[in-house]
Structure 1
Amino acid sequence: MRFSRISKALGVATVVALAMTACSGGSTGTTNTSADTTKVITAFGGEPQNPLLPANTNEVYGGRVMDLIFSGLLSYDASGKTVNEMADSIDSTDSQNYTIKIKSGEKFSDGSPITAKNFVDAWNFGALSTNAQLNSYFFESIEGYKDVSAMAADGKTAAPTAQTMSGLKVVDDTTFTVKLAQAESDWKLRLGYTAFFPLTEAAIADPKAAGEKPTGNGPYTLKTWNHNAELDLVPNPNYTGPRKPKNAGVTFKVYTTADAAYQDLLADNLDVLDGIPASSIKSFQKDLGDRSIVKAYAGNATLTIPSYLPAFQGEAGQLRRQAISKSIDRNLIIDKIFNNTKKVAKDFTSPVIEGYSDSVSGADVLTYDASAAKKLWDQANAITPWDNSTFTIAYNVDGAGNKEYVDAATNQIKNALGIQAEGKPYATFKELRNDVNKKQLTGASRAGWQADYPSLYNFLGPLYGTGAGSNDGNYSNPAFDAKLKEGLNAKSTDEGNKIFNEAQQILFKDLPVIPLWYQAQTGGWSNNVTGVDFGWNGVPLYYNISGK
């Protein structure tokens, strides 16, 4: 889920089946023959950036916990197909007005009943600007969002004029209605994402306490959170949905480096690892044998260059972004550091998403050409001279391969452009994300996007739409925003995807981020577990893992 997990989407986007199979060695998972359901599974994790509130969790470490301790109206199976969880039905005759019925008799982990009001109140809480939730952008399709979101038509901040969205109405304990600002035929696909989870009345009354000790409705409940060490999840006895745990719990162990996690995996002190460190990428399939996997998923890697950096504004800034993009030899990095487990990016989305195109106009800016890069850099200097500062790329040390590829990229940039360039390490993902969210970067930052559900829009709107929660670089282009809106209102999936690819042409001109490569999950598991597989978004299906 990228540094973030966010989205909106057009099109019933389906994961391409062939792309989701293991692309080299290992297996696509194991079976649960004679499985031991009494085992607690240990899994690789990190310290969540924020308290565990649905509308404020938009990064991978918090997201994987939230998806286990909460359930939305929908969930997504291993292939990305939607499955009803809390929803009994989600109906619409015009793709703008929806009637949602939830299953009766469902309970939160504390035994309190779940009603339609718990969803409506949670969504209003998430959207209201005074609550400062990172995922508030998810609710912008709902009528009345602008009244609660402190966002004026020109994208500038304004005081909220309402406390609730006019498009949400509670009908009875199991029914509520949603009116969107415009017709969006695929809107319900988003309803399995974190932002749309329900909240108890107590959580809304005291979100600080709820973020530390959440009361959810998912297959697990959070037993303890030992900050910067581990998060212990145990099965939720009140859960009745399709993701019933086949184990006695999941403990996420917080690691400061992927190398340490890998050594624990080899020693059978860690059961599941997603993200093999660069130091072991060439040997892990031999080390682990049929306990390894390489599986394409809906994710990509990019470099964000914030628009608030003076040297990267205006025409000179645009030329500099192009120069940096063309100075990076992506193929060489993928070969030498990632052992060819990734593929060079040709757009801003992912090839496993329906509607993907590898021929979007403007994509030539991603082609490595050191000579052309230097010319572009010199053209920028003719407009506004570079201040001779060091160009930096911020990265988190606790992520697999980050240091290695950032070191390689900055060395290539330095050689091609004749400037000083180096990595700027952060000890943890949380620390990096904090500076990113505070808009305190002094250079570029590495980023990765893990889709929330299969859609082109999921890779575009949440990251580059004006005011979007995961728009790290503060990018804003009214023409791009208009294309997104046009795509969302298209009459068919194919038409919408065509328009979204037209929107990407604008991104290639502006380069708010520099696409690097498409992701494939590299992972492994211990000798002590069975039933391991990874979903369409690269996340292990924790609930399906058992002991041997």
Structure 2
Amino acid sequence: MKQRRLIAAGALFAAGALALSACSSDSGGDSGDSADSNASVTIYNTKPENPLIPGNTNEVGGGNILDAIFRGLVDYDPDTAAPEMSMAESIESDDNITWTVKLKADQTFQDGTPVDADSFIDAWNWTAYGPNAALNNYFFASFKGYDEMNPVDPDDDGPKKADEPEAKELSGLKKVSDTEFTVELANAQSFFPTMVGYTAFYPLPDSFFDDPEAYGKKPIANGPFQVTSGDGDTGFTLTAWSGYKGEDKPQIAEAVFKTYTSDSAGYNDVLAGNLDFMNQVPAAALVDNQYQTDRADHFVNKAVGVIQTMTLPQYSDNFKDDPNIGKALSLAIDRDTITKTVFNGGRTPATGWVSPIVDGYKAGACGEFCTYDPAKAKEYLAKSNFKGPFSFSYNADGQGNKEAAEAICNSIKNALDVECNAKAYVDFATLRADVNSDKMDNLFRTGWQMDYPHIQNFLEPLYATGAGSNDGRWSNTEFDDLIKKANAAEGEEAYADYQAAEALIATDMAVVPLWYQAQQSVWSDRLSNVKVTPKSTLDLVSVTAS
């Protein structure tokens, strides 16, 4: 096989993939004042669930910080999400199984220590080592030696404990020199070079291993910004790092991520000039496109790689081994009405589990079950073992979550004649703590912001057996086998297998698709050259402020 180099993402945005209710403004909005290289920009954020450790961060509150302060082997173009070389000089393979990674020379962390092969190998081994219980552990499941580091728990949460791992290092990782290492996978994986820009694959300095707890409070990274102060409760202050050698150098001196527990409070701060950027306006501001009036010439409305879903925990006796419940609930949700009334058409009803903006997307994976049909919904509920009452948990600090949760429950009530109540968690971190501890006994809000632009990222990390973000603990061996087959293939062949795997999720409907997300962001008069990335984040490299 011809050697493979890092591949572009292809036609990431399909024309007409998402129909938006309003035209986007020019994302380069001009404040009319000259840019100030010493400027500080304030940004809306939610409380990180955990300390700022890449291998243990899989949610946006912490991810927003880590993506600003770290750089991985590759980074993603802020316009197209196409992967581009960052710390890596090249990533090559003859067979999609063994990959040779060559690093750029003379790269350092913010403490002056080198970013070398050991920085990646040691970081990846820490995340892959089962006893560390890192949330991003699963991203290394395709690496040779993963099973030896992650023995199977004989009874999950029962009294028996898993055996001690046979190994503490991935046998598939081999150092060649300070600037070169090889990765051997257990199975062929054509998208490996696209995947390794994700948070789980960031390098770590020696100081992390000396004291992981202290490191998580104020991490030392290798990207264009560094953490100078702050905590999850109030927010973090990042300053531009003068020692950064990458080409993507920021034009601002400081980025302050402010923690909010209320989206309306954040929006009011933007209007009052106390906050510079809010990635998603509240649902109330979508009515009649009020945000476009409030922030004329300082908004954007664009499709992003985000989907919202509702999960039925399969470990709960209410939902275990009963596909009829999920089908009944999905048929009972009037997506068309909710997206129009709650989001003013700023969301598109989902027909599957993969975002339309990535190659390989195929409409209709959900089949009949994503169509509102109260009569059929009642038929499935009658066949189910659990007939309610239902509750739907959501995090109150997320934009539009309260209104959406109440609308979903009202739709379920009206269609099924059962009780359904929206249950608020104070913030995303608190909700995720219960989700990750398998403490949910009813419906809960889930969503996915793509880590990298590939159809696999919307499927395997979320629905493969034992996957780190498989919040409902759904399992289907046929799905797992199709994913492995797709991972080894390329192009149309791979897409067909991914699509076949996606269709299998509808057999149990353990996760109900709700809507694909477009993003409505606003910013202050101070900002210019504003870009909202396909991952729905503010591009901190291009933005300027007066």
Q: Give the secondary-structure state (helix, strand or coil) at the position aligned to 2:318.
A: helix
Q: CA RMSD in A?
A: 2.1
Q: How does 1:98-497 map to 2 (within 5 A)?
A: 98-151=99-152, 158-282=163-287, 283-314=290-321, 317-360=322-365, 362-380=366-384, 384=385, 386=387, 390-490=389-489, 492-497=490-495
Partner of 2:12: 15
Partner of 1:37: 37
Q: Distance in 1 between matches of 2:495 and 2:338?
A: 30
Residue type of the alignment partner of 1:279: A
Residue type of the alignment partner of 2:313: P
Q: What are the superposed Cα offsets for residues 162-194 of structure 1, whole Å, 9 maximum, x if unpaired?
A: 000110011111111111112212211111000
Give yes or no for contact 1:531–1:546 (8 Å, CA) kept in 2: yes
Percent identity (aligned): 38
Q: 1:356 to 1:113 in 2, by over 3 A?
A: same
Q: 1:21 to 1:28 in 2, by over 3 A?
A: farther
Give yes or no for contact 1:395–1:445 (8 Å, CA) kept in 2: yes
Q: What are the superposed Cα offsets for residues 386-445 of structure 1, whole Å, 9 maximum, x if unpaired?
A: 4xx531110011111101011011011112112111011001010000000001012111
Q: What are the superposed Cα offsets for residues 469-514 of structure 1, whole Å, 9 maximum, x if unpaired?
A: 1010011111111111111112x22111110110112101111200
Range with bigger deviation, 28-37 or 472-481? 28-37
Runs of at least 4 residues of structure 1 off by over 6 A? 152-156
Q: 1:285 to 1:171 in 2, by over 3 A?
A: same
Q: What are the superposed Cα offsets for residues 133-186 of structure 1, whole Å, 9 maximum, x if unpaired?
A: 000111111111111122489999553110001100111111111111122122
Residue type of the alignment partner of 2:277: V
Q: 1:385 to 1:129 in 2, by over 3 A?
A: closer
Equivalent residue pairs, number: 531
Give yes or no for contact 1:464–1:476 (8 Å, CA) kept in 2: yes
Q: Give the secondary-structure state (helix, strand or coil) at the position aligned to 1:544.
A: coil
Q: Distance in 2 between matches of 1:227 and 1:399?
A: 16
Q: 1:196 to 1:278 in 2, by over 3 A?
A: same
Residue type of the alignment partner of 1:111: G
Q: 1:483 to 1:445 in 2, by over 3 A?
A: same
Aligned partner (choices 487, 494, 517) of residue 515 of structure 2:
517
Partner of 2:4: none
Give yes or no for contact 1:11–1:493 (8 Å, CA) kept in 2: no
Q: 1:20 to 1:319 in 2, by over 3 A?
A: closer
Partner of 2:540: 542
Unaligned runs of 5+ in 1: 1-9
Q: TM-score, normalised by structure 1?
A: 0.93
Shift, 1:116, TM fit: 0.7
Shift, 1:359, TM fit: 3.4
Q: 1:364 to 1:154 in 2, by over 3 A?
A: farther
Q: 1:142 to 1:153 in 2, by over 3 A?
A: farther
Give yes or no for contact 2:154–2:162 (8 Å, CA) kept in 1: no
Shift, 1:338, TM fit: 0.1
Q: Distance in 2 between matches of 1:475 and 1:265?
A: 40
Partner of 1:4: none
Unaligned runs of 5+ in 2: 1-6
Give yes or no for contact 1:22–1:293 (8 Å, CA) kept in 2: no
Give yes or no for contact 1:256–1:398 (8 Å, CA) kept in 2: yes
Aligned partner (choices 497, 500, 503) of residue 502 of structure 1:
500
Range with bigger deviation, 70-79 or 178-187? 178-187
Q: Give the secondary-structure state (helix, strand or coil) at the position aligned to 2:357.
A: coil
Partner of 2:3: none
